[in-house]
Amino acid sequence: MNAFTPTPFVSAARRVAVATAAAVALALGTAAAAHPGGGPGGGPRGGPVGAQVIESLKGKLNLDTAQTKLFDQALAEAKAARAAALADRQGLRETVRAELAKAEPDLAALARSADAVEARNRALRNQVRELWLRLYATLSLEQKAVVRDALAAAMERREAGRERMQERIRERIGG
């Protein structure tokens, strides 16, 4: 046997290591893909940042009756979508745990499950976004200016938070 021919033990160990690494990567990827809210405070990873800002502005917008009805509908849909996304995420975690407990996990099935959860959550986010955009389309120029300013302020806060986090990371790694 030459130095380049793997023994049966090395081949089996390599297969186990590769399968384990793939399962861990898939599990982490599915958790990230199914996460409905992003980072802290709704964060930049896809959370409903704009909707959160608009929700906080309801009193400042002086909405008329029709706008209030749209607002309430969008808010209810946003809450329902978040609850559904959280339930999907928990279901996906349970699916991943159950599959990884098997002697030979079906990683393709896990990938399909993660893709399905991601697609459902994306559809829910798009549905909610459309409701908020429908409300925004009914706002006056003054109301839109209030929303614009609040979104800009929220963006600045998030960027400042991101910069603080990056500074902390640099301090920890000595860079």
pLDDT band at 23; cut points 50, 70, 90:
very low
The answer to whether residues 134 and 127 touch, using CB atoms and an 8 Å cutoff, is no
> Quick one: residue 46, left, alpha or beta (phi over 0 = left, psi -120 to 50 = alpha)?
left
Q: What does the block give as tokens for 165?
A: 């986090």
Greatest alpha-carbon pair distance for the chain in Å reads 83
How much is the pTM? 0.64
Q: What does the block give as tokens for 34?
A: 């199914």
Please report whether residue 3 resides in a domain. Answer: no
Domain region containing 57: 8-173
Please state the domain count of the chain: 1
Kindly state the average pLDDT of the residues 110-114.
92
The answer, yes or no, to whether residue 49 has pLDDT greater than 50, is yes
Q: What does the block give as tokens for 18?
A: 């590769």
Q: What does the block give as tokens for 38?
A: 């992003």
The answer to whether residues 85 and 27 touch, using CB atoms and an 8 Å cutoff, is no
Computed over every residue of the chain, the mean pLDDT equals 79
Please report whether residue 2 resides in a domain. Answer: no
> Quick one: residue 51, left, alpha or beta (phi over 0 = left, psi -120 to 50 = alpha)?
alpha
Please report whether residue 1 resides in a domain. Answer: no
pLDDT by residue (tens digit) across 143-168? 999 989 988 988 899 899 999 999 99
The answer, yes or no, to whether residue 65 has pLDDT greater than 90, is yes
Please report whether residue 142 resides in a domain. Answer: yes
> Quick one: residue 38, left, alpha or beta (phi over 0 = left, psi -120 to 50 = alpha)?
left
pLDDT by residue (tens digit) across 126-141? 999 999 999 999 999 9
Predicted pLDDT at 150? 87
Predicted pLDDT at 5? 52
The answer to whether residues 44 and 158 touch, using CB atoms and an 8 Å cutoff, is yes
CA pair distance 125, 107, nearest whole angstrom: 27
CA pair distance 66, 55, nearest whole angstrom: 16
Please report whether residue 37 resides in a domain. Answer: yes
Tally: H helices and E strands in the chain: 6, 0
Residue entry with tokens 């200016």: 145
